[in-house]
Amino acid sequence: MVDHRLSEEHEALRQSVQDFARKDVAPVIADYYEREEFAYPLVRKMGEMGLFGLPVPEEHGGMGGDYFALCLALEELGRVDQSVAITLEAGVSLGIMPLLRFGSDEQKRTWLPKLATGEVLGAFGLTEPDGGSDAGATRTTAVLDGDEWVINGAKAFITNSGTDMTGFVTVTAVTGERPDGRKEISAILVPSGTPGFTVAKKYSKVGWNSSDTHALSFDDCRVPAANLVGERGRGYAQFLATLTEGRVAIAALGVGTAQGCVDECLRYLGEREAFGHKIGEYQAMQFKVAQMELRAHTARLAYYDAASRMVRGEPYKKQAAIAKLASSNAAMDNARDATQIFGGYGFMNETPVGRFYRDSKILEIGEGTSEVQLMLIARELGLPA
C-alpha cells in the first residue's frame, strides 16, 4: 500500500519550520533582500533549531534524522523565501554531506559538530569561470609538495563561501593524470583565511539577493595533505553523487516556492476587486490558480518519490533528475502566473511573488541545468550518451 502521509516526527518538524518561516522569516526578509544582505540572525536561528544537523548522526552533533527531513524543512522555507532556504540547502548538501559521506575521521571530528549546529558554514567549489555544466573541464590544479597541496586556480558562483560564518570551501582540483590520459580530479578542503585563498567581492545577482555567492581564487594556496576529502582521483565521482542528493533538496525548495505562489494568490484573489467583484470570482483566475496547484502537487510527489528511494538506499538518479526538473519548472511557471495575477503589484520587490519570480530562474540552472536533467533522464532510460 502506498502512503504519502508524513510520520508524526516529520509532521512535527514540518510544522515547526513552517512556524519559523511565517513568524521569523516572512516579516523581515524583504528588507534583507532589498539591502542584498545576508540574514545572519535567521541563519543562526536555523542552527539553533538543529536544521543544519537534520541528516547528521547524533555522534557527530546532529539530529540523527534523514535527508527527507531536510527536504521538508526546505519546502517550508522555500514557501516564504528562497535566499534563506538555499543557505540551508547549500550548507547541508554541499557543505556537510561531502564530509559526512567521504571525509576522514579527523575531518568529521573537526568540522561536523560545528557544521551541524550552524556555528560554521561549509561550501563546495566545483564550478569554474570557463566550465559551467562541463565540470569535468576543471582547470584548478593541486600539486603535492611534501606534506602539502599547492592549489592554483579559480571557482565561480560558490554559495556560502564568503560569510563571517564560513569555515572552509571544499574544492575540486586536477591532481594528476589517469592511466587513460584523462584528468585525475580530487577534492581538497581549504579553510577560510588560508594564505593564497581569496574571496572576491559578492556578485550582483538577479535573485537570491539575501544569499551569499562569490568567485574564489587560489594563488599558491597551501593546505595539509590530510585535507584531501575522500580518495585521491575520486573527487569528481564523489561530487556527482553529492549533486544527485542535492537535486532532491533543490526540488523540495522549488516545490515550496511553487506552493508559496499558490498561497499568495489565494490571499490576493480574496482581497482584490475589479469591475465590482472579487477577482477570485472570475473563472479565468480560478483556472490559473488550479493549474498552479496542479504543478506544485505533482512536483511534490516527484521529490517525495526520489527522497524515499534515497532513504531506502535504492537507485534514485533518474527520480532525482525528474524531481529537480519538475519542481524548477513548477516554481518558474507558478511565479510567472502569480506575477500576472498580481499585476503591477507583482512587479514590486516588496511582494513575495516579485521575489519568487526573480529567484526561481536560477532553479533551472543551479545544481544541473534543465538540459542536464533531460540528458540524465535519457541516459537512465538506456539511450546512448
Are both 87 and 191 inside the same structural domain? no
Identify whether residues 335 and 375 lie together within a single domain: yes
Confidence class of residue 59 from pLDDT cuts 50, 70 and 90? very high
Note whether 29 and 87 are same-domain residues: yes
Secondary structure of the chain in the HEC alphabet?
CCCCCCCHHHHHHHHHHHHHHHHHHCCCHHHHHHHCCCCHHHHHHHHHCCCCCCCCCHHHCCCCCCHHHHHHHHHHHHCCCHHHHHHHHHHHHHHHHHHHHHCCHHHHHHHHHHHHCCCCEEEEECCCCCCCCCHHHCCCEEEEECCEEEEEEEEEEEECCCCCCEEEEEEEEEEEECCCCCEEEEEEEEECCCCCEEECCCCCCCCCCCCCEEEEEEEEEEEEHHHEECCCCCHHHHHHHHHHHHHHHHHHHHHHHHHHHHHHHHHHHHHCEECCEEHHHCHHHHHHHHHHHHHHHHHHHHHHHHHHHHHCCCCCHHHHHHHHHHHHHHHHHHHHHHHHHHHHHHHCCCCHHHHHHHHHHHHHCCCCCHHHHHHHHHHHCCCCC
* pLDDT, position 282: 86
Is pLDDT of 275 > 70?
A: yes
- Same domain (yes/no): 258, 374: yes
Which pLDDT value is given to residue 2? 62
Given 213, 233, 253, the domain boundary residue is 233
72 domain residue, yes or no: yes
CATH of the domain at 70: 1.10.540.10
Tens of pLDDT, residues 133-177? 666 688 999 999 999 999 999 999 999 999 999 999 999 999 999
Band of residue 372 on the pLDDT scale cut at 50, 70, 90: very high
Mean pLDDT value of segment 272-291: 88
Q: Are residues 174 and 291 in the same domain?
A: no
Catalytic residue among 48, 293, 367, 371: 367
Residue 1 lies in a domain: no
Considering its fold, how many domains does the chain have in total?
A: 3
Q: What is the pTM of this model?
A: 0.95
CATH at residue 152: 2.40.110.10
Between these two residues, 122 and 5, which has the higher pLDDT value?
122
> What is the number of residues in the chain?
385
Q: Please indicate, yes or no, whether residues 130 and 187 belong to a single structural domain of this protein.
A: yes
Residue 48 annotated as catalytic: no
Check residues 63 and 385 and name the one with the higher pLDDT: 63
In a domain, 153, yes or no: yes
What domain range is 142 assigned to? Answer: 123-233
- pLDDT for residue 120 is more than 80: yes
2 is a domain residue: no
Residues 115 and 15 in one domain: yes
Whether 113 and 138 share a structural domain: no
Task: State whether 210 and 258 are in the same domain.
Answer: no
Q: Are strands 273-274 and 141-145 parallel, antiparallel or unpaired?
A: unpaired
pLDDT interval class at 1 (50, 70, 90): low
Do both 298 and 269 map to the same domain? yes
- Comparing 36-50, 150-164, 235-249, 324-338, the range with the smallest average pLDDT is 235-249
Q: Residue 242 belongs to a domain with what CATH number?
A: 1.20.140.10
Q: Tell me: do 255 and 297 sit in the same domain.
A: yes
Q: Mean pLDDT over all residues of the chain?
A: 94
For residue 226, pLDDT beyond 80 = yes
Which of 257, 251, 335, 261 is CA-nearest to residue 301? Answer: 251
Q: Is residue 385 part of a domain?
A: no
Let me know whether 114 and 191 are in one domain. no
Residue 272 binned pLDDT confidence (cut-offs 50, 70, 90): confident
Domain edge (last residue) among 233, 260, 282: 233
Domain finish residue from 71, 91, 121: 121
Average pLDDT over residues 12-25: 97
Judge whether 285 lies within some domain.
Answer: yes
* 3 domain-assigned: no
Q: Is residue 95 part of a domain?
A: yes
What is the pLDDT averaged over residues 373-379?
A: 96
Does residue 4 register a pLDDT over 80? no
